[in-house]
Amino acid sequence: MEAQSQDFDAPTEKMTSLTPLLYQSGYITIKGYDEMFDSYQLDIPNDEVGLGLMRSLIPYYITPDTLTTNSTIVNIGRASYNKDIDGMMDL
């Protein structure tokens, strides 16, 4: 996943994406920087954070429907394990 610097600085009440929340809470971190395009490469810092994201935060943002939530969490887990951050964010 890539983001611009302004994507990190949104006040909570004006957020239009989860990127600032995930970054500010430490669920995603900056892995690299593309100076030419002023773009940051984002990633989950480690497996423990990825697991915490799936178990504690994701269910509240998806749906109270347990079957759908569990299925989505498994798919997010697979994407996280495969380092597919774009796929994970799509889910």
Per-position b or e across 33-46, b if 16+ CB within 10 A of its CB: eeeeeeebebebee
Helix%, strand%, coil% for the chain, nearest 5? 55, 15, 30
Rounded Cα distance, 20 and 89, in Å? 13
The amino acid sitting at 57 is L
Domain that holds residue 43: 2-90
- In sequence order, the 6+-apart residues with CB closer than 8 A to the CB of 34 are 2, 40, 41
Q: How far is CA 54 from CA 41, 61, 81, 89, in A?
A: 21, 11, 12, 12
pLDDT of residue 62: 62
Q: Provide the domain count of the chain.
A: 1
* 37-58 residue pLDDT tens: 888 898 888 888 888 777 776 6
Residue 64 reports pLDDT greater than 80: no
Look at the pTM and tell me if it is higher than 0.85: no
Give the strand order in the sheet containing 29-34: 2-4, 39-43, 29-34
* 69-80 residue pLDDT tens: 667 777 887 888
